[in-house]
Amino acid sequence: MPWQDRIVIDPEIASGQPIVKGTRLSVEFLIDLLAQGWTEQQVLDNYPTITRDDLLACFSYAGELLREEAVYPLKA
């Protein structure tokens, strides 16, 4: 499933940050919880408005951004 089905960007919601559709939970917030050591189940238990598919869409969105990122090596 494409992330576009679950992640939306609306300037009227959360200052235009990408969020899970139908919530005010940003992709950044959810990925940060996982980076802090929360398990997938802890996130789902604490935020029952999202699903596992929503979390997978967050990862897919982040992955696409990273693939499109231009990287310029710095000379030492």
Structural domain tally of the chain?
1
Using the predicted structure, report yes or no on whether residue 71 has a pLDDT greater than 90: no
Question: What is the pLDDT of the chain when averaged over all its residues?
Answer: 94
Using the predicted structure, report yes or no on whether residue 70 has a pLDDT greater than 90: no
- Residue 37 near residue 31, CB atoms below 8 Å: no
DSSP 9-43: --TTSGGG--EETTSS-BHHHHHHHHHTT--HHHH
Range of the domain at 46: 3-68
Condensed to tens digits (0 to 9), the pLDDT of residues 19-65 reads 999 999 999 999 999 999 999 999 999 999 999 999 999 999 999 99
pTM of the model: 0.86
Q: What is the CATH number of the domain that holds 61?
A: 1.10.10.10
pLDDT, position 69: 83
Domain-located, residue 75: no
Place of tokens 């789902």: 44
Name the strand (E) or helix (H) holding 49.
Answer: none
Q: How far apart are CA 12 and CA 44, in angstroms?
A: 25
Domain-located, residue 76: no
Domain-located, residue 51: yes
